[in-house]
Structure 1
Amino acid sequence: MRLALFNKGRLGLVDGYELVDVTEQLAGSGTPGAAGALHQHIETVARGGAAEIDLTRCARVPLVEAVLEAPLPRPGKIIGAPVNYLDHKAEMEYTTSVADLGVFLKANSSVIGPGQDILLPYTDKRTDQEGELGVVIGRTATHVSADDALDHVFGYTCVLDITVRSGEDRSTRKSFDTFTPIGPWVVTADEIPDPDTLDLRCDVGGATRQRTNTADLIFGVRELIAYTSSVMTLHPGDVIATGTPAGVGPLSHGDRVVLEIEQVGRLEVGVDGSRAAPYEQRPGSRDR
């Protein structure tokens, strides 16, 4: 299944060129809260409470008329894998990789959805796009083996890990509001038996910047889940951004960023630099 949030928090199943509104059937009763109806459904599935869907009882909306939103607007955790492709390690002249650096956290307040804008914070610091496969956790995972890792996955999505090239820690440079576009939906794990064989392409301004296959990950999806769960408990609805390949580059006001991942989907967002300010004007900046 492909599951999306649309039209102010409704939960939809993508069926061809239509969205089937399955909010009441899959999200259950009660208000889902800031985490959203899909997150509520993932937690229900984790408890063994998945319901059968009767599509004959559901309203349908043409996909082109729906306003898609981030499928997981406030994940419990967003976990990033730095330097997880060898070609990206080479282009950035890093001497280390994910095997040495471990993982990092991004603020969940940085999430936006399809069609929204990345807001550039600075006029004089480069802000780059990083296209990545996102893994959505479906069952609590702690110290799981690589062999068992995929049993803990609910599904997959597209993630853009936007990054300011400045001197702060990764979690700061990657956590500005709007710096984690996610979407356009989550594809359930049963549709992607092997996440380590997917083609990925990221275009900016109509030109392809990144092209790879997830087979080239240093830590593949299984190994990355195993490693991460040895550090922190993973909960249903957490998102792991698996790392970006070579081809990262600066974003400019008016750019369109398009990330396409085989079997997963196409995520498109804009770039707005109209409110950017000089780096030295950031709060707390002073001569030292």
Structure 2
Amino acid sequence: MRLALFDNGRLGLVDGDALVDVTDQLAGAGTAGPAGALQHYIETTTAGEQVRFSLAGRPRISLTEAALRAPLPRPGKIVGAPVNYLDHKAEMAYTTSVAELGVFLKANSSVIGPGEDIVLPYADRRTDQEGELGVVIGRTASHVSADDALDHVFGYTCVLDITVRSGEDRSTRKSFDTFTPIGPWIVTADEIPDPDALDLRCDVGGTTRQRTSTADLIFGVRELVSYASSVMTLHPGDVIATGTPAGVGPLTHGDRVVLEIERIGRLEVGVDGSRATPYARRPGRRAPARG
């Protein structure tokens, strides 16, 4: 299935070129709260309740007319995998990769959905796009083996891990509001038997910047879920951003960023730099000492 949030938090099942509104078929979906109806569905299935959606006679809306939202507007946590493609390691001249660096966390308040804008914080610091495969956890995972890792995955989505190139810690540079576009929906794991064999492409301003296959991940999805679960317990609805390939580059006001992943879909967002300020004016900056 392809499951989406649309309009005012309605739960939709993608059927061809239309969304079928199935909100009323999931008990409690209409009052799911900030985490959203899709998070509620994931938790319901984790609890062992079988929810089978009926499409007959249900309200339908064209995908071109639906206002798609982030499928998980407030995930419990977002886990990032730094330097998880060898070509990106070479591009950024890193001497280490995810194998040495481990994983990092992004603020869940950084999530936006399709059609929204990435807001650039600084006028004089480069902010890059990073197109990534997103893994959505479906069952609580703690110290799971790589062999068992996919049994804990609910599905997959597109994730843009937006990053300021400055001196702060990764989680700071990647956690600004709007810095984690997710969508356009979640594709359940049964439709993607091998997540380590998906083509990925990311365009900015109509030009392709990133093109790869997830086969080139240093830590594949199985290894990454296993490793992350050895550090922190993963809960249903948590999102893992699996890392970005070579081709990251600066975003400018008015850009359109499009991430497409085979068998998943197309996530498009804008870029707004109209409120960017000089880096030197950031809150908390210490003025240089006077001699």
Q: Which TM-score band applies after superposition, normalised by the shorter structure?
A: over 0.9
Question: Conserved in 2, the CA contact under 8 Å of 1:27 and 1:38?
Answer: no
State the distance in 1 between where 2:96 and 2:200 align.
23
Query: Residue deviations 1:155-200, cap 9 Å, x none?
Result: 0000000000000000000000000000000000000000000000
Question: Conserved in 2, the CA contact under 8 Å of 1:198 and 1:213?
Answer: yes
1:157 paired residue number: 157
Question: Conserved in 2, the CA contact under 8 Å of 1:27 and 1:37?
Answer: no
State the distance in 2 between where 1:163 and 1:27 align.
38
1:203 and 2:203 aligned: yes
1:64 and 2:79 aligned: no
Runs of 4+ displaced beyond 4 Å: none
Q: How does 1:24-39 map to 2 (within 5 A)?
A: 24-26=24-26, 28=28, 31-39=31-39
Secondary structure of 2:64's aligned partner: helix
Q: Is 94-103 or 29-38 further displaced after alignment?
A: 29-38
2:182 paired residue number: 182
Distance of aligned partners of 1:182 and 1:105 in 2 relative to their CA distance in 1, 3 Å threshold: same
For residue 102 of structure 1, report the CA deviation from its aligned partner.
0.3
Question: Conserved in 1, the CA contact under 8 Å of 2:24 and 2:30?
Answer: no
Secondary structure of 1:41's aligned partner: helix
1:254 paired residue number: 254
State the distance in 1 between where 2:92 and 2:241 align.
19
2:46 paired residue number: 46
Q: How does 1:121-200 map to 2 (within 5 A)?
A: 121-200=121-200
Question: Conserved in 1, the CA contact under 8 Å of 2:35 and 2:75?
Answer: yes
Question: Conserved in 2, the CA contact under 8 Å of 1:71 and 1:113?
Answer: yes
Q: Is 95-104 or 19-28 further displaced after alignment?
A: 19-28
Secondary structure of 2:14's aligned partner: strand
> One-letter code of the match for 2:240?
I
Question: Conserved in 1, the CA contact under 8 Å of 2:30 and 2:37?
Answer: no
State the distance in 2 between where 1:258 and 1:81 align.
21
Question: Conserved in 2, the CA contact under 8 Å of 1:28 and 1:41?
Answer: no
Percent sequence identity is 82
For residue 262 of structure 1, report the CA deviation from its aligned partner.
0.2
Distance of aligned partners of 1:187 and 1:27 in 2 relative to their CA distance in 1, 3 Å threshold: farther
Q: CA-atom RMSD, angstroms?
A: 0.9
Secondary structure of 1:150's aligned partner: helix
State the distance in 1 between where 2:51 and 2:196 align.
29
1:14 paired residue number: 14
Secondary structure of 2:268's aligned partner: strand
1:220 and 2:225 aligned: no
For residue 42 of structure 1, report the CA deviation from its aligned partner.
0.2
Q: Is 47-56 or 87-96 further displaced after alignment?
A: 47-56
For residue 260 of structure 1, report the CA deviation from its aligned partner.
0.2
> One-letter code of the match for 1:107?
A
For residue 30 of structure 1, report the CA deviation from its aligned partner.
5.6
Q: Which runs of 5+ in 2 are unaligned?
A: none
State the distance in 2 between where 1:64 and 1:49 align.
32
Report the count of equivalent residues.
288
Question: Conserved in 2, the CA contact under 8 Å of 1:204 and 1:255?
Answer: yes
